[in-house]
């Protein structure tokens, strides 16, 4: 990835930060977005000085549509790849779901990456690669995750459609679908810390490997899909779920 310029949205914690660190260690210039000033500052401290760390809220349509021009204002003239990774999850039964839960998850997980990709098109090189972070829940029957799962199924569909639409421009689009990965996302569910830890542990026990995945394991898959090593893979969803679907 030496000398490539790669964007990672939601690159301040978890899978996104691990991917940014891996790509930077490979010699890429990484650009990372997030929305929380504290995690933005922490990411700046954990990434090389060459990394560009920007506040850009994927849930705000104006921010998503302006992402390409903001990068240009920071001197970025071309992108070799983009990992559309920012996402949130809110879990619970349909009885408790609110319209706001629905709107927030669709705004951040689906509308954001769609209009970010649109705004990045003038910058994306030929060849280049786009990877969108979906989830294994897009394709399994998982209770109490109906809205989140629907956003991820939408993203897998976008990967297929845009894979076809952008291939003639030399832009390969794929999605990746992680299973349970131990990241800060479980600390954002409004659960006490111990309950959040128990949740990820029990989800890990639901895999064939009897453990949750680590962010670095998904970062390596993202790197593969962003790199020319995956040059004949397009419009595909690659699952890395520890075997959840086969239990
Ligand atoms: N962990 C899992 O088990 C798992 C499984 C399957 C798929 N995924 C997907 O993997 C992706 C990364 O999640 P993660 O597990 O690594 O969780 P995470 O540690 O919470 O990371 C989420 C990242 O997205 C950013 N983000 C959230 N909302 C944003 C917004 N509106 N605008 C800009 N940035 C935003 C966060 O930044 P801030 O701190 O600034 O909010 C953070 O950098 C998500 O799309 C998630 O759905 C995760």
Selected catalytic residue, list 148, 155, 207, 230: 148
197 belongs to a structural domain: no
Q: What is the SS3 assignment for 42?
A: helix
Residue 174 has pLDDT above 90, yes or no: yes
**CA 17 to ligand 1 centroid distance, Å:** 10
The 10s digit of each residue's pLDDT in 198-231 is: 999 999 999 999 999 999 999 999 999 999 999 9
- Report the C-alpha gap between 121 and 137 in whole angstroms: 29
From the list 11, 226, 220, 29, the residue with the least C-alpha distance to 127 is 226
201 belongs to a structural domain: no
194 belongs to a structural domain: no
**pLDDT on residue 198:** 95
Q: Which of 26-35, 96-105, 184-193 comes out lowest in average pLDDT?
A: 184-193
The 10s digit of each residue's pLDDT in 41-75 is: 999 999 999 999 999 999 999 999 999 999 999 99
CATH of the domain at 125: 3.40.50.720
- Report the C-alpha gap between 197 and 34 in whole angstroms: 24
Q: Residue 105: give the domain boundaries.
A: 5-181+214-241
- Report the C-alpha gap between 159 and 113 in whole angstroms: 11
91 belongs to a structural domain: yes
52 belongs to a structural domain: yes
- Report the C-alpha gap between 37 and 50 in whole angstroms: 19
232 belongs to a structural domain: yes
Tell me the CA distances in angstroms from 237 to 118, 126, 223, one per residue in order: 20, 21, 15
- Atom from ligand 1 closest to the CA of residue 178: 6
- Report the C-alpha gap between 34 and 56 in whole angstroms: 6
Q: Is the CB of 21 under 6 A from ligand 1?
A: no
Residue 162 has pLDDT above 90, yes or no: yes
- The best mutation among 86, 145, 158 to test binding of ligand 1, ranked by most ligand atoms within 8 Å of the C-beta, falls on 86
Task: Say if residues 210 and 243 touch (Cβ distance below 8 Å).
Answer: no
**pLDDT on residue 164:** 98
- CB-side exposure of 229: number of CA atoms within 13 Å? 9
33 belongs to a structural domain: yes
- Atom from ligand 1 closest to the CA of residue 86: 24
- Residue with tokens 């929380």, as numbered in its chain: 36
Residue 137 has pLDDT above 90, yes or no: yes
Is 148 a known active-site residue?
yes
70 belongs to a structural domain: yes
- CB-side exposure of 93: number of CA atoms within 13 Å? 2
Mean pLDDT of 118-128: 98
Mean pLDDT of 148-153: 98
Task: Say if residues 120 and 78 touch (Cβ distance below 8 Å).
Answer: no
Task: Say if residues 27 and 3 touch (Cβ distance below 8 Å).
Answer: yes
Q: Specify the number of domains making up the chain.
A: 1
Mean pLDDT of 163-179: 98
Mean pLDDT of 226-238: 98
The model's confidence at residue 89, banded by pLDDT at 50, 70 and 90, is very high
- Report the C-alpha gap between 166 and 171 in whole angstroms: 5
**pLDDT on residue 190:** 87
Angle at 92 between CA 89 and CA 96, to 5 degrees: 120
- Report the C-alpha gap between 234 and 132 in whole angstroms: 12
Q: At what angle do helices 99-106 and 146-166 cross, to 10 degrees?
A: 30
Structure tokens at 210: 């009897």
Give per-residue burial for 4-21: e unless 16+ CB within 10 Å, then b. Answer: bbbbbbbbbbbbbbbbbb
**pLDDT on residue 211:** 98
**CA 228 to ligand 1 centroid distance, Å:** 25
């Amino acid at each position: 990835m030496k000398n490539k310029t790669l964007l990672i949205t939601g690159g301040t914690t978890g899978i996104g930060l691990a991917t940014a660190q891996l790509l930077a260690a490979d010699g890429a210039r990484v650009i990372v977005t997030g929305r929380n000033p504290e995690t933005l500052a922490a990411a700046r401290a954990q990434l090389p000085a060459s990394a560009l760390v920007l506040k850009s809220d994927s849930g705000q349509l104006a921010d998503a549509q302006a992402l390409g021009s903001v990068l240009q204002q920071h001197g970025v003239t071309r992108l070799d790849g983009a990992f559309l990774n920012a996402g949130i999850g809110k879990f619970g039964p349909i009885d408790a779901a609110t319209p706001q839960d629905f709107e927030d998850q669709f705004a951040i997980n689906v509308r954001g990456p769609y209009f970010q990709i649109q705004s990045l098109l003038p910058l994306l090189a030929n060849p280049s690669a786009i990877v969108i972070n979906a989830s294994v829940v897009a394709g399994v029957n998982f209770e109490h995750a109906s809205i989140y799962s629907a956003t991820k199924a939408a993203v897998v569909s976008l990967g297929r459609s845009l894979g076809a639409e952008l291939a003639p421009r030399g832009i390969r689009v794929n999605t990746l679908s992680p299973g349970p990965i131990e990241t800060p996302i479980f600390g954002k569910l409004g659960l006490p810390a111990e309950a959040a830890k128990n949740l990820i542990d029990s989800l890990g026990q639901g895999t064939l490997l009897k453990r949750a995945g680590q962010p670095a394991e998904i970062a390596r898959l993202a790197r593969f899909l962003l790199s020319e090593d995956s040059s004949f893979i397009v419009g595909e969803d690659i699952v890395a779920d520890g075997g959840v679907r086969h239990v």
